């Protein structure tokens, strides 16, 4: 089944199960359909794929911001269409979205620099530009990371699949992103991490914090929410990081992890209320 179909089917199932959140599922259904209709191939990387073995062995992800290239015209069109779509879907912050749309029309949005900032998790350029436009930086970051994720995923379809079977880090081997979700899969309950930007997934040591590398079992715990089988939250008392985990042995394999992330926002609320933080990234583990 195509990824889009899998996603739409799962959104439909969850919408039925949680009618009180219908608005969220409808929004993401419409957004997925919109993204599927967009032309691609305006983003690429000048990365030398032959250097992958040495990069990977040194613990560096495949892609860096310095190698990101965009074709400005179609990239700008995509960006404008996305903002337009968010306005049509009734996304909150309509006046801020209109401001972004106007800035895009005036050609004043430094799209490439903002995409590089998203890839490198460098908030400063995003915050600086958001304050220039007097809009919340979270909104700008959302639009830019959606743009980056789309362009990156399309580009990855065009290159030979890089081998990263020996990668055990807590960040994505391809784009360096922090994992958005974890998964326990297969009979042995192998732990896999999923990247929200490029959708790569990779296998890691189960009893180890993905953020700080802590392996002391007495400070690694997890909690579940009542009545929600198949989901848990791994927490590390050493760095206060948390990771939501889907147990595919209970829920079935091949679930679209971005939808599972969306479906478990209540787990983020519980974890954050307890003082845990998601997506801490460190290059030390």
Structure tokens at 115: 């995409």
Query: How many of the chain's residues bind Zn ion (CB under 5 A)?
Result: 16
Task: From 8-16, 113-121, 130-138, 177-185, give the range in contact with Zn ion by CB under 5 A.
Answer: 177-185
Structure tokens at 228: 């929600």
CB 171 → Zn ion: shortest distance, Å?
8
Site for Zn ion, residues 230 to 249, rule: CB under 5 A: 236, 238-239, 241
CB 219 → Zn ion: shortest distance, Å?
8
CB 2 → Zn ion: shortest distance, Å?
20
What are 203's strand-pairing partners?
Answer: 192
Residues for the chain: how many in total? 285
Q: Does residue 40 contact residue 18 with C-beta atoms inside 8 Å?
A: no
Candidates 62, 195, 233, 257; binder of Zn ion (CB under 5 A) is: 195
Q: Could you say whether residue 209 binds Zn ion (CB under 5 A)?
A: yes
Q: Does residue 29 contact residue 8 with C-beta atoms inside 8 Å?
A: yes
How far apart are alpha carbons 96 and 89 in whole angstroms?
A: 14
Q: Could you say whether residue 174 binds Zn ion (CB under 5 A)?
A: yes
Closer Cβ to Zn ion, 225 or 277, answer by number: 277
Q: Does residue 175 contact residue 195 with C-beta atoms inside 8 Å?
A: yes
How far apart are alpha carbons 175 and 19 in whole angstroms?
A: 35
Structure tokens at 77: 């069109």
Closer Cβ to Zn ion, 177 or 256, answer by number: 177
CB 80 → Zn ion: shortest distance, Å?
25
Q: Could you say whether residue 156 binds Zn ion (CB under 5 A)?
A: no
∠ CA 22-27-30, nearest 5°, is 120
Q: Could you say whether residue 214 binds Zn ion (CB under 5 A)?
A: yes
Residues of the shown chain interacting with Zn ion in the complex, contacts defined by CB under 5 A: 172, 174-175, 177, 195, 197-198, 200, 209, 211-212, 214, 236, 238-239, 241
């Amino acid at each position: 089944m195509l990824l889009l179909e899998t996603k739409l089917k799962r959104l439909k199932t969850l919408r039925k199960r949680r009618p009180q959140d219908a608005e969220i599922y409808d929004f993401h259904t419409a957004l997925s359909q919109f993204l599927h209709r967009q032309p691609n191939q305006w983003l690429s990387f000048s990365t030398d794929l032959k250097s992958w073995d040495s990069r990977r062995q040194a613990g560096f992800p495949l892609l860096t911001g310095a190698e990101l290239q965009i074709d400005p015209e179609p990239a700008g069109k995509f960006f404008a269409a996305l903002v337009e779509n968010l306005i049509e879907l009734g996304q909150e912050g309509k006046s801020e979205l209109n401001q972004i749309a106007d800035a895009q029309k005036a050609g004043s949005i430094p799209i490439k620099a903002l995409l590089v900032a998203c890839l490198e998790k460098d908030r400063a350029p995003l915050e600086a530009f958001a304050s220039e436009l007097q809009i919340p930086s979270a909104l700008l970051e959302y639009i830019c990371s959606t743009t980056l994720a789309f362009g990156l995923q399309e580009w990855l379809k065009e290159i030979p699949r890089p081998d990263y079977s020996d990668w055990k880090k807590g960040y994505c081997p391809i784009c360096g992103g922090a994992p958005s979700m974890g998964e326990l899969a297969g009979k042995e309950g192998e732990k896999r991490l999923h990247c929200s930007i490029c959708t790569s997934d990779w296998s890691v040591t189960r009893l180890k914090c993905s953020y700080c590398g802590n392996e002391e079992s007495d400070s690694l715990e997890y909690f579940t929410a009542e009545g929600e089988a198949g989901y848990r939250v791994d927490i590390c008392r050493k760095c206060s990081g948390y990771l939501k985990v889907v147990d595919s042995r209970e829920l079935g394999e091949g679930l679209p992890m971005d939808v599972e992330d969306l479906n478990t926002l209540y787990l983020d609320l519980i974890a954050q209320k307890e003082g845990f933080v998601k997506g801490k990234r460190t290059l030390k583990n």
